[in-house]
Amino acid sequence: MTYTNIGFIGGGNMANSLIGGLLADGWPVDKICVSDPNEECREYLSSRFSIQTSKDNIDTVNASDVLVLAIKPQVMAEITQTLKAAVQQTKPLVISIAAGINLSDLSRWLGGYNNLIRTMPNTPALVQSAATALIADDSVNQESRDLAETIMRAVGLTLWVDNEEQIDAVTAVSGSGPAYFFYIMEAMEKAGIEMGLSAKNARLLTIQTAFGAAKMALESNDEPGLLRQKVTSPGGTTERALSILEDNQLQQIFSQALKGARERSNELAKILGQEA
């Protein structure tokens, strides 16, 4: 395999995760570089991964065939416009991992540059268990699409969506999704403690149960609804608990919540797109 030079603009948690995943997959250390204005961040990356770091973003652009924009959405417009000339000259594949930044806005900030792929990973990337959706500009060739998928697969599952509008749905389902599960786990822990379990035991039981259920869903050919039915004995404890959840319209609440997240994702994209 021919390894490509990958440069990261921004050395935060997501960049750390991707770099760690890439190196674990065998990507050569000398093919990865990072720029970040924070000296402490650069020293940490250099010490942990033995990769080249810089405080100058232009150095990273010039050294990269693939440029990963791993910066906060709020500063994307400002920073990408400083990269415009260098990107136009070196013509890297640009991959954005920032939430709420549309391809059209990114292209505009880079001076009409279109060799762009937008991704939506989620925070389990920190433990190489992400779910990442990708969408590319129509002009991006298949080789570049495959390369972007390889890079993002270093931290978990990847999938392509049909159009950019679906990224808002992805944000609602998987981007924000870990928080929903943490919320449910928090509620289960609290209920366990209220019923007399120690905080430690309530937490361990909740986490292991969540892990086990997710593992069953991943390894089974059955959809979640059928798995739920299989573990629900008629007249039993699980049926009683589920009937209470259904009486309180939990599914409708989840539907409303995710649609709200999708709408907010669309709103933020419009707000961020007005920058510069």
Query: What is the distance between the alpha carbons of residues 27 and 76, in angstroms, rounded to a whole number?
Result: 27
What DSSP line would sit under 25-73, residue for residue?
TT--GGGEEEE-S-HHHHHHHHHHH--EEES-HHHHHHT-SEEEE-S-H
Mean pLDDT (whole number) for 80-102: 96
* Residue 178: both structure tokens together: 């870990």
Burial of 96 (C-beta count, 10 Å sphere; 0-12/13-18/19+): buried
DSSP state of 102: -
| Cα-based torsion angle of the residue sequence 61, 7, 130, 14 in order, rounded to the nearest 10 degrees | -80
Cβ contact 34:15 at 8 Å: yes
Q: Does domain 6-168 have CATH number 3.40.50.720?
A: yes
Q: Is the pTM of this model over 0.75?
A: yes
At 68 the pLDDT is 98
Which sequence spans correspond to the domains of the chain? 6-168, 177-267
Query: What is the distance between the alpha carbons of residues 215 and 76, in angstroms, rounded to a whole number?
Result: 36
Query: What is the distance between the alpha carbons of residues 220 and 169, in angstroms, rounded to a whole number?
Result: 25
Mean pLDDT (whole number) for 242-247: 97
pLDDT band at 273 (very low <50, low <70, confident <90, very high): confident
- CA 42-154-43 angle, to 5 degrees, is 10
φ/ψ of 43, rounded to 5, equals -65, -40
Cβ contact 95:66 at 8 Å: yes
Q: Which residues, at least 6 apart from 172, have a Cβ–Cβ distance to it below 8 Å?
A: 258, 259, 260, 261, 262, 265
Chain centre distance of CA 180: 15
Mean pLDDT (whole number) for 51-60: 97
Cβ contact 5:64 at 8 Å: yes
Helices 237-247 and 250-273, axial angle in degrees (round to 10): 50
Query: What is the distance between the alpha carbons of residues 106 and 118, in angstroms, rounded to a whole number?
Result: 9
At 1 the pLDDT is 61
At 275 the pLDDT is 64
Residue 276 has pLDDT above 80, yes or no: no
Comparing C-alpha atoms, which of 40, 75, 80 is closest to residue 57?
80
Per-residue pLDDT tens over the stretch 190-229: 999 999 999 999 999 999 999 999 999 999 999 999 999 9
At 3 the pLDDT is 86
Query: What is the distance between the alpha carbons of residues 91 and 210, in angstroms, rounded to a whole number?
Result: 44
Residue 2 has pLDDT above 90, yes or no: no
Mean pLDDT (whole number) for 132-158: 96
Query: What is the distance between the alpha carbons of residues 261 and 38, in angstroms, rounded to a whole number?
Result: 32
pLDDT band at 109 (very low <50, low <70, confident <90, very high): very high
Into which CATH architecture does domain 177-267 fall?
Answer: Orthogonal Bundle (1.10)
Mean pLDDT, the chain, rounded, equals 96
* Residue 245: both structure tokens together: 């959840």
Per-residue pLDDT tens over the stretch 11-29: 999 999 999 999 999 999 9
Query: What is the distance between the alpha carbons of residues 9 and 62, in angstroms, rounded to a whole number?
Result: 12
User: How many other C-beta atoms can be found within 10 angstroms of the C-beta atom of residue 37?
Assistant: 11
